[in-house]
Amino acid sequence: LLARAKEWPERLGVGKPLVVDDRLEEFLEARCYSLLKREKEEQKLLQSVASFGKQDAAATDSNTLLSALSLRTLGKSAEAAQLLSQWTQNSPGNPVAQWASSVFTGANREADRILGEIRSKAGPNAWNPFPDDPQFHLIIEAMSLSVH
């Protein structure tokens, strides 16, 4: 199913975009390979997720957390922390950045508090409180699976 999530069927109309952010699919696929003890495949996917964040440092959304977690898994903890630190510094007051930073550092109570605030302010847009970050809800679900 994760492989099918990367497909761009013609019936969608516009076709595949020039730049595709597959970090969520690749991160979850890497986790599957990890559980299957297929380290080579896992490492390749984690490297892809990590390198996307380096390619486009301006693309800071909830997927940035996946890049940081991938970097940490690859043994690049300082680089991972710097990636999230840049995001929170460049977007002061961004609750998604604050939530991601809390998840990354293991401050689960703080992450839950921030997420509660986000949800309470979302109102009727609870599924997608941030239209500029359409995968935020999916990232939350991925983190709740303890995939990090």
- CA–CA gap between residue 140 and residue 136 (Å, rounded): 6
- CA–CA gap between residue 68 and residue 147 (Å, rounded): 13
> Predicted confidence band at 133 (pLDDT cuts at 50, 70, 90)?
confident
Report the percentage of the chain scoring pLDDT > 70: 75
CB distance 25 to 6 below 8 Å: yes
- In tens, the pLDDT along 55-69 reads 655 568 999 999 999
Residue 8 Cα distances to 5, 14, 20, 22, 26, angstroms: 8, 9, 10, 12, 16
pTM of the model: 0.84
